[in-house]
Amino acid sequence: MVQLASTDLREEILALKEERNAVILAHNYQIGPIQDIADYVGDSLGLSFRARETEAEVIAFCGVHFMAETAKIINPQKTVVLPDKDAGCSLEESCPVDELDAFLKENVEKNYYVISYINSSAGVKALSDVICTSGNAVKIVESAPEDRPILFVPDQNLGEWVAAQTGRKMDFWQGNCYVHVEFTRDSISRIKGEYPGAPVVAHPECTTAVRLLADEVCSTEKMVNFCREQTADNIIVVTEAGMLHRLQKEVPGKNLIPGPTDRCACSECRYMKMNTMEKLYSCLDKLEPEITMDEELRKRAEAPILRMLELSE
């Protein structure tokens, strides 16, 4: 592993990026230095569009595995690297492809229309009719055929939120994000008590009890607009703590308060935090860990993602 002072490391990464003809895409939960060096920082939907559009030869994807995998699926000519190959996701883990496959076979007579959250493996995507993100879930569910029952996979909380928004009945896979279920009604009520009148914005992966305490429920990207529009000085942000870095840069002058859990002042995703500047340098240098996949699987996973992108444009 390279050992350089942080300013040198930043310069080294930028130089290597040019040499490789690479683009650095980063999710809103990445550590501050990675967000600051990235060409684009955003939510899963914005990152998917950027990954599809880029003309760079290499995509250094600073996020978790399913995000980099999605980039490879929709732009297979590119070399896609991820700083840490073990940067997974508890939602992806909650829905193993063989379990979903068995469930669909057992319930074949139902003829489910399967809507999978983007936080899922390529195998799960390949078994889906369409993909959604937190940024477009309402639109995607509204476009689902009326004559087929919906199976929403794998985030039960996002599914319940979108069902309430659209009035569509659906069956849910029992998965959740271990970061967002850490926020509780008590922990969010307590922080609201400390900052009376502060608006609350929460991610739809939070539980119903927490979402009911929020003034707005939305994707990480939409949180930026929500915070910009607020006149209040204090805003409570109930999502992974990395979001605060992006918000502090784009909405300066506000007191942005991370949503606390019952144990901590904020909640961090251990997977998102596996990526470091050193590992970013290394993946650009060695062009590994690289995302690769079987072409037949890639094609099957691509169709429902492209359907999502068409419906979101």
What does the DSSP 8-state code read for residue 148? S
Residue 271 near which of ligand SF4, ligand 13P, none (CB within 5-8 Å, type-dependent): ligand SF4
What does the angle CA 276 – CA 277 – CA 278 come to, to the nearest 5 degrees? 90
What's the rounded Cα separation, in Å, for the pair 148 and 193?
A: 44
What's the rounded Cα separation, in Å, for the pair 99 and 192?
A: 40
Nearest distance from C-beta of residue 241 to ligand SF4, angstroms = 10
User: Between residue 27 and residue 56, which ones bind ligand 13P under the rule CB under 6 A?
Assistant: 28, 43-44
Cβ closest to ligand SF4, residue 104 vs residue 181: 181
What's the rounded Cα separation, in Å, for the pair 223 and 247?
A: 8
How many other CB atoms are found less than 10 A from the CB of residue 20? 17
The interface mask with ligand SF4, positions 20-59, x = CB under 6 A, is ----------------------------------------
Check residue 124 for interaction with ligand SF4 (CB under 6 A).
Answer: no
Phi, psi of 52 (to 5 degrees): -70, -35
User: Between residue 278 and residue 307, which ones bind ligand SF4 under the rule CB under 6 A?
Assistant: none
Binding part of the chain for ligand 13P, among 12-20, 129-137, 159-167, 168-176 by CB under 6 A, reads: 129-137
* Residue linked to tokens 């993909």: 131
Check residue 129 for interaction with ligand 13P (CB under 6 A).
Answer: no
Residue of 269, 284, 291, 308 interacting with ligand SF4 (CB under 6 A): 269
Residue of 134, 136, 207, 276 interacting with ligand 13P (CB under 6 A): 134
What does the DSSP 8-state code read for residue 110? G
What is the total count of residues that contact ligand SF4 (CB under 6 A)? 13
Check residue 153 for interaction with ligand SF4 (CB under 6 A).
Answer: no
User: Between residue 171 and residue 200, which ones bind ligand SF4 under the rule CB under 6 A?
Assistant: 177-179
The two structure tokens encoding residue 298: 């890639």
Helix (H) or strand (E) segment spanning residue 217: strand 216-217
Binding part of the chain for ligand 13P, among 9-17, 71-79, 131-139, 260-268 by CB under 6 A, reads: 131-139
What's the rounded Cα separation, in Å, for the pair 134 and 140?
A: 10
The 3-class SS string of 278-301 reads: HHHHHHHHHCCCECCCCHHHHHHH
- Residues β-bridged to residue 170: 150
Residue of 59, 60, 91, 247 interacting with ligand SF4 (CB under 6 A): 91
Nearest distance from C-beta of residue 29 to ligand 13P, angstroms = 7
Positions that interact with ligand SF4 (CB under 6 A): 64, 89-91, 119, 177-179, 205, 240, 269, 271-272
